[in-house]
Amino acid sequence: MIDKIRRNAHKLPLCLFYLGLTIEMAVVLIDRSALPPLPEGQIYRVTFLIFLLKVCFTKYTKKEWLLLVLFSVFTAGMYLVSGQNLALRAVFFVAAMRDIQIKAVMKYVFWFTLSGLLLIITLSFLGIGREIKLTTVYREVVETRYHFGIGHPNTFYCMILILILLFFYCYREKLRIWILVVFSIAAFGLFLLTDSRTGFLVTALAILGASLFYIFPKLKETKWIYNVGMLIFLFCIGISIWAAANSINAWDHPVIVQIDRLLSGRMKILYWDNAAHAGSLQTWKLFSTPDHFIYWHNFDMGWVRLFYWFGIIPGTIFTGLHLLLLNECKRKKDDMALLLIAIIAIYTIVEPQFISPYLGRNFLLFLFGLYWGQMMLADGGKDDYWWNALRIKKG
């Protein structure tokens, strides 16, 4: 018995990671179902301890330990100031992915999410879960839209977007034209049922991007396509900051009013939807405080929520880390990771689904788990890392 335990002891860290990940994903699906709400705060403490234990069983280099300590201290300080532990949880979630096959993890997340979504839909049709459709006021008009038990049409379409992006990332080698055509038809059909414009447009962009990489396979070898990805990400952050700064004028300035209409009226909500003007640029702080969590549900713009929820300094660091991640995608010629990051960046301008307490729903964290050591620390004596661009070459 003891010998058997010793032989299988190396599997313990892997089991710990999948246990924590499964709990995190189950919380997301239960939140989307008609089941009673869970004590999420207590559950997050449990998963944090699970990932912490996984880290304790993992070997890191000295530089990686230093990096982990620095981020742990920084995010712990954020927790003490704001009372929000999401950033600290995310650090150990990412660190726990060391020595984990991320492609296998993403496939697990794909099938777990697909199974959970089908279960919720089935329960909805059987009358056990939520209603299949929702009749209420959308854009100042009473309409009936389908959400298949998820609770809101936009949230349902977001889950479809998630599944499509995960499929592209996990099964790139299986991509065929007929699959892309089926996805396109399904995306349009679900749009007719949900009328989720943002979800459909972003999903169409995702399918278009995957089609380009499939039809032109050499595109992933070019550096410029990854530079375009960086520009897209910076634009998404920039337009979000601009929206927060100009939200006070979203009623009267003609140009801003037109842009706000493109954003489905989300700009005016930042300033005018509550007495505290939560989300508008003048409410941002260098580091967030506990009172910011009173109003964070009041607006949808995801990148605005990031800076409002965590603070300007953490938001800026988070942005910089994404640029480093995109640079690593360029070094590794990881086209599907580029597509994943770019699509989520665009979607997060107007929707907050990926800026939430749910670690199991933010798939950018999985890419950080894959690349964090390589993108932050020197590897194998190579000299093409980001900080070398700051050095003046001799001769």
pLDDT at 33: 73
R_g (Cα) of the chain, nearest Å = 22
What pLDDT, on the 0 to 100 scale, is given for residue 370? 87
- Residue of higher predicted confidence among 301 and 392: 301
Mean pLDDT, residues 317-340: 93
* CA–CA dist 3, 19 (Å, integer): 24
127 Cβ neighbours under 8 A, 6+ residues apart: none
Asked if pLDDT for residue 324 goes beyond 80, the answer is yes
- The pLDDT score that the predictor gives to residue 159 is 92
Lowest-confidence region among 28-37, 63-72, 75-84? 28-37
Q: What pLDDT, in 10s, does the model give residues 243-279?
A: 999 998 888 888 888 999 888 888 988 888 877 888 8
- Computed from CA positions of residues 299, 319, 207, 100, in that sequence, does the dihedral angle turn out positive or negative? negative
Answer for the pair 368, 326: CB distance below 8 angstroms, yes or no.
Answer: no
Give the per-residue pLDDT at 296: 61
pLDDT classification of 207: cutoffs 50, 70, 90: very high
Residue 391 pLDDT > 70:
no
Place of tokens 């704001």: 82
Query: Scanning the structure block, which residue is given the tokens 């889950």?
Result: 159
Using the predicted structure, report yes or no on whether residue 29 has a pLDDT greater than 80: yes
Q: Where are the domains of the chain?
A: 101-215, 217-377
Residue 91 pLDDT greater than 80, yes or no: yes
> pLDDT tens digits, residue range 209-237?
999 999 999 999 999 999 999 999 999 99
Q: What is the mean pLDDT of residues 307-311?
A: 92
Beta bridge partners of 137: 142
Of the listed ranges 3-17, 83-97, 297-311, the least confidently predicted one is 3-17
CB 301 within 8 A of CB 240: yes
Q: Which two tokens stand for residue 280?
A: 């508008």
pLDDT over threshold 60, residue 3: no
- For the stretch 137-152, pLDDT in tens is 666 677 788 888 888 8
**37 pLDDT tier (thresholds 50, 70, 90):** confident
What pLDDT was estimated at residue 127?
A: 82
Q: Two tokens at 385?
A: 């890392």
141 vs 341 pLDDT, higher one: 341
Tokens standing for residue 185: 């038809």
Is residue 304 within 8 Å of residue 215, measured between CB atoms?
Answer: no
Whether the per-residue pLDDT at 111 is higher than 50: the answer is yes
The residue among 100 and 11 whose pLDDT is bigger is 100
Residues 60 and 42: their CA atoms lie apart, in Å, by 29
d(CA 44, CA 48): 6
The answer to which of 58-62, 71-75, 168-172, 175-179 has the lowest mean pLDDT is 58-62
Mean pLDDT of 322-345: 94
- The pLDDT of residue 1 is above 80: no
According to DSSP, the residues that pair with 208 across neighbouring strands are none
Give whole-number Cα distances, 304 to 131, 159, 352, in Å: 31, 21, 9
Is pLDDT of 193 > 60?
A: yes
pLDDT surpasses 90 at 317: yes
Tell me which of 148 and 204 has the higher pLDDT: 204
Note the pLDDT of residue 273: 84
pLDDT surpassing 50 at residue 5: no
3-state SS assignment for residue 374: helix
| Model confidence, pTM | 0.90
Q: Tell me the average pLDDT of the chain.
A: 86
Outline where the chain has alpha helix (H).
2-7, 12-32, 40-56, 62-82, 86-95, 102-125, 153-170, 177-194, 197-215, 223-246, 254-262, 266-272, 292-295, 302-310, 312-332, 335-350, 364-376
> What pLDDT sits at residue 140?
65
Q: Quick: pLDDT tens for 6-20.
A: 455 567 889 999 999
Give me the helix-helix angle, 197-215 and 335-350, nearest 10°: 160
